[in-house]
Structure 1
Amino acid sequence: MADTAVLRQHARPPRSAPPRARRILGGLVRAARPRQWVKNVLVVAAPAAAGELFSRHAPARLALLFALFTACAAAVYLVNDARDADADRAHPVKRHRPVAAGQVPVPVAYAVGGVLGVLAPAAAAWLCPPAVCVLLIAYLGMQLAYCLCLKHVLVVDLAVVTTGFLMRATAGGLALGIPLSRWFLITTGFGALFMVAAKRYSEAVQMAGENGATRALLTEYTTGYLRFVWQLAAGVAVLGYCLWALEEGGVPHTGVLPWRQLSVVAFVLAILRYAVFADRGTAGEPEDVVLRDRALALIGAVWLAMYGLAVADW
């Protein structure tokens, strides 16, 4: 009996590592940057501002729009990581990305990115209004052009990343046929530029004097210039929001308090709080800054509550 048990023990195949396909699939998910998907929540900005967030068909259409932008963003991330794999290996943090680390082969990243880049616009053409389909194709083309060459062009790189945020915010309005206020567009655009420039400034400060930086333009931008950009953008965003909040659009106020106007206070406080991290050079990804700082998250929650009460005209 003992000999039989020993034979059975040796007959068992040794535990093997997870199949290669599973490792590649997990790497593809990581390369798609799930933490970045929160940026696509911007598709609800215009409907929420107009009080149409829970109107008929709005949740389903916005969920579809979120998924389409997520697919396009994943396609761009995969192509970008495949193209920059060699450079990322020289970076202390980016070398752990799945493509740079060898978990996802470069050809596989290109192939999956290409498939997603084709399927997302095709689905938009079938399920969304024509304006949304055109916007999604323009977004995808612009982001791919950014990966290939535009990220090496001074100022244009800032404009492209900012426009990507603005396109997300605009898409929700187009999907539901909501007119977009010019002040909404100005506030969203310059608010995005503020965060993009603050991130670039923080990267420039942290990478100063270090070799292996994968963002070549950081050596061409000066920290003084990037500081000027995020300060200018913050000022314009605040001005645009004030004008937006004071714009009644011909609708008389019947609520208990002028919540829309009062929300200016919370918005300005949020900008000032975010600027603390920008000034320190620690403003990385916007979602990381918000989730890391409880005070900023609380100010954001207060702003959302105020604007929600304004939309409900409570």
Structure 2
Amino acid sequence: MVELFINVLKTARPRQWVKNLSLYAPLIFSGKLFNTEAFLLSTAAVIIFSGISSSIYFLNDIIDIENDRRHPFKKFRPIAAGKLPVPLAFFFSVAGFMISFFLASKLSFFFFLVCFAYFALQILYSFYLKNLEILDVMSIATGFILRVYAGAIILNYHVSSWFLLCVISVALFLAVGKRRAELTILASTAASHRKTLSHYSESLLDGYLSIFSTSAWLSWALFTFFESPPVLVKPGFLYTLLPLTFSGSNKFLMLTIPVIIYIIMRYLRIIYNGSRAESPERVIFSDKPLLGTILLWGVMIILIIYGVD
């Protein structure tokens, strides 16, 4: 029973839930981080999205069972390794979908629609889009965009155009980086594991990475210049120490630009190393400089927007 639970948990991929933390972005930038009701709503949304994501992983592992058995790392997944029976995995997938959609419908109709759109996208990706070059990468990126919109809809918060562009750029950067790492790891056998890798060359993916890494930090910079959230109505202690010349979060958020550039450059280094970048969440948790810098960026954002009470 314990072994079964462990295999179910592995297939659910809780490490992947870190991607759903992007639903908190609208909460932070709306100035409602310390509003109990808003925080609980966002947390419920994160949990629901995590449930949908895990349900999709169960289904995806069933669909890809043969390919996973030929993969150097994925062959150890419980379903591919025969440690979790396919019928039981399918049961957990269906149960997860039903529970998640029921809870989503209780929160908000429009949130439910976004959840369904995310579900439909993932199903379409698993059966069709992952085999189409370029569209496979765009599908992965769309998943991140839907997460951010879900977080905004649950709070009825308007998402800035510049921030949305930043999310799109980062999502495409991560998706292309994933493909580039796969190409490095799998080398000559890449096409047999993923059809689209036969259409991507290293130079082509390098070009994509150059485009999206540049657009990622530049769109964030433009967001901090033009549309970043204002300082809260009641300034924190941080702003009482500074002259009026330096007040306003628009200016202070610019301090995070070098941090973003470092994060992107560090991630690029890991991508070309190839050993871990096949899984973005594994990169974040295994690379201490990258994790530390991301945490620093998060702390800076909160301090700048909310001040220090």
TM-score (normalizing by structure 2): 0.88
Partner of 1:92: 72
Partner of 2:91: 111
Q: Which ranges in structure 1 are unaligned for 5 or more consecutive residues?
A: 1-18
Instruction: Find the aligned partners of 2:283 and 2:205 in 1 and give their Cα distance.
Output: 18
Instruction: Find the aligned partners of 1:269 and 1:99 in 2 and give their Cα distance.
Output: 38
Q: Report the residue type matching 1:137 in the other structure.
A: F
Q: Is the 8 A contact 1:259 1:306 kept in 2?
A: no
The equivalent position to 2:82 in structure 1, one of 83, 102, 113, is 102
Instruction: Find the aligned partners of 2:8 and 2:287 in 1 and give their Cα distance.
Output: 30
- Assess, with a 3 A threshold, how the Cα gap between structure 1 residues 153 and 274 changes in structure 2: closer, same or farther: same
Instruction: Find the aligned partners of 1:309 and 1:130 in 2 and give their Cα distance.
Output: 33
Instruction: Find the aligned partners of 1:264 and 1:235 in 2 and give their Cα distance.
Output: 12
Q: Is the 8 A contact 2:181 2:274 kept in 1?
A: yes
Pairwise CA distance, 1:259: 2.1
The equivalent position to 1:157 in structure 2, one of 136, 144, 147, is 136
- Between Structure 1 and Structure 2, how many residues are aligned? 293
- Assess, with a 3 A threshold, how the Cα gap between structure 1 residues 251 and 86 changes in structure 2: closer, same or farther: closer
Q: Is the 8 A contact 2:111 2:150 kept in 1?
A: yes
Partner of 1:36: 16
- Assess, with a 3 A threshold, how the Cα gap between structure 1 residues 176 and 207 changes in structure 2: closer, same or farther: same
SS at match of 2:141: helix
Partner of 2:282: 288
Q: CA RMSD in A?
A: 2.1
Deviation per CA, 1:84-134: give whole Å up to 9, x if none: 1122112221111111111111122122212212221122112x1221110
TM-score (normalizing by structure 1): 0.87
Instruction: Give matches, 1:10-21, under 5 Å.
Output: 19=1
Instruction: Give matches, 1:155-234, under 5 Å.
Output: 155-210=134-189, 213-234=192-213
Partner of 1:243: 222
Q: Report the residue type matching 2:301 in the other structure.
A: Y
Q: Report the residue type matching 1:122 in the other structure.
A: F
- Assess, with a 3 A threshold, how the Cα gap between structure 1 residues 263 and 147 changes in structure 2: closer, same or farther: same
Larger helix fraction of residues: 2
Q: Is the 8 A contact 1:259 1:307 kept in 2?
A: no
Q: Is the 8 A contact 2:190 2:197 kept in 1?
A: no
Q: Is the 8 A contact 2:27 2:39 kept in 1?
A: no
Partner of 2:264: 271
Instruction: Find the aligned partners of 1:55 and 1:312 in 2 and give their Cα distance.
Output: 12
Instruction: Give matches, 1:246-257, under 5 Å.
Output: 246-247=225-226, 251=230, 255=239, 256=242, 257=246
SS at match of 1:92: coil
Q: Is the 8 A contact 1:31 1:78 kept in 2?
A: yes
Partner of 1:311: 305
Pairwise CA distance, 1:64: 1.0
Q: Is the 8 A contact 1:99 1:106 kept in 2?
A: yes
Instruction: Find the aligned partners of 2:228 and 2:62 in 1 and give their Cα distance.
Output: 48
Which structure: larger Rg? 1
Instruction: Find the aligned partners of 1:64 and 1:250 in 2 and give their Cα distance.
Output: 24
- Assess, with a 3 A threshold, how the Cα gap between structure 1 residues 189 and 212 changes in structure 2: closer, same or farther: closer
Partner of 1:146: 125
Q: Is the 8 A contact 1:91 1:213 kept in 2?
A: no
